[in-house]
Amino acid sequence: MISGRMAELVKGGAAIRAMFEEGNRLAALHGRENVFDFSLGNPNFPAPEAVRRAIAETLEEDDPLLLHGYMSNAGHEDVRARVAASLNARFGTSFGAGSIIMSVGAAGALNVILRTLLDPGDEVIAFAPYFVEYGNFVAGNGGRLVVVPADEASFQPDPGRLAAALTPRTKAVILNSPNNPTGAVYSRDTIAGLAAVLDRWQRAGGSAVYILSDEPYRELAYDGVEVPYVTRLYDNAIVCYSWSKSLSLPGERIGYIAIPDEASESRLIFDAACIATRMLGFVNAPSLMQRAVARCLGAEVDVGAYQRNRDLLYGGLAACGFDCVFPQGAFYLWLRCPVPEKDFVEAARARNILVVPGSAFGCEGYARLAYCVSPDTIERSLPAFGKLADEL
């Protein structure tokens, strides 16, 4: 008999991986070239050459005993100082090495900071649609996820709905921009509106509420759109970042937590988060990758390639008559299902098109397509989408 906790863990993380495994099954039956798998956000484009050089230089130049040994739970101090300096130059912040904790990707960063902040039963707010694992992250660290319904007109978080969701147990609000799954970029006005709600709540005697800014897609923004830096708009903001997407390194699990001095109890949060890093079993972020990313902080993947994929897929689906949110960033397309969600996902699968149902992200009636695939995959999928549109 599977325990209730195990069942919830499986339920919470199953949808995306189930589609990925279905893609492997269909590929074995029909050939990989005849399966159009838009299920998993695994970057198709290679890491920049600067990353390969940085890894090689690190292996050749760094003391191997230091390179592969333990260090502070927060990470190598010189790496943290370089990350802080890079952020300060880009966003006008005032981070130092003591503001940065190197993490095992953004997922590791979120788990560390949730373990640090939450007391049992504390509430964490997320705006639908949201990354499916947030529920597991929050529950696994003793909290309760409170989901604010989506504003389906804009897919921007609504400050009024945030105000209605706040309670004395609210400890944090997770923001994810550019957003997985919609591709929306939260505007400066939106974030300022959310910050104003939280400031009023705290001034009225509510406890501190932290914005946790989940930022693995920060650099994947198109058409010159601004991705506001949240700590400049709200003091109690903590950034959880990963190089998984900006450098096409999802399997290397390297990122950081940025805790500004302006945040309430920032020093206590930093010290406790270092302990949480050890408690959760990470101990420290991967040493080699810490030193490698510090050598290529200005590098990035070919964002233009993702934008071309976006334009190709969005244009092709619009021509078929599908209603999609136009993505400003990330590499996901959010499609409104023209029939009930389950029927649409099954009809797509019958034509070897794999998408993730919107209900997995807390927003039923949609489907997510990850366009971090080869352009050839998109081009070859469009006739199948055309037949799907005719069928439905």
Average pLDDT of the segment spanning 193-222: 96
Q: The pTM is what?
A: 0.94
240: confidence class by pLDDT, cuts 50, 70, 90: very high
Burial class of residue 5, CB neighbours in 10 A (0-12, 13-18, 19+): exposed
Q: How far apart are CA 236 and CA 195, in angstroms?
A: 9
pLDDT tens per residue across span 38-74: 998 899 899 999 999 999 999 998 888 889 999 999 9
Q: How far apart are CA 354 and CA 179, in angstroms?
A: 20
Give the list of residues 6+ apart from residue 125 with CB closer than 8 angstroms, or none: 145, 146, 147, 148, 162, 165, 166, 170, 172, 173, 174
Average pLDDT of the segment spanning 15-24: 62
Q: What is the pLDDT of residue 32?
A: 66
Is 17 in a helix, a strand, or coil? helix
Fold of 4-47+302-391: Aspartate Aminotransferase, domain 1 (3.90.1150)
Domains of the chain, by residue range, sit at 4-47+302-391, 49-294
Q: What is the pLDDT of residue 35?
A: 87
Give the list of residues 6+ apart from residue 17 with CB closer than 8 angstroms, or none: 40
Q: What is the pLDDT of residue 89?
A: 98
Average pLDDT, the chain: 94
- CATH code: domain 49-294 is 3.40.640.10
Average pLDDT of the segment spanning 342-348: 97
156: confidence class by pLDDT, cuts 50, 70, 90: very high
Average pLDDT of the segment spanning 206-228: 96
Question: What token pair was written down for 361?
Answer: 């992200």
- Using the predicted structure, report yes or no on whether residue 295 has a pLDDT greater than 80: yes
Q: What is the pLDDT of residue 64?
A: 86
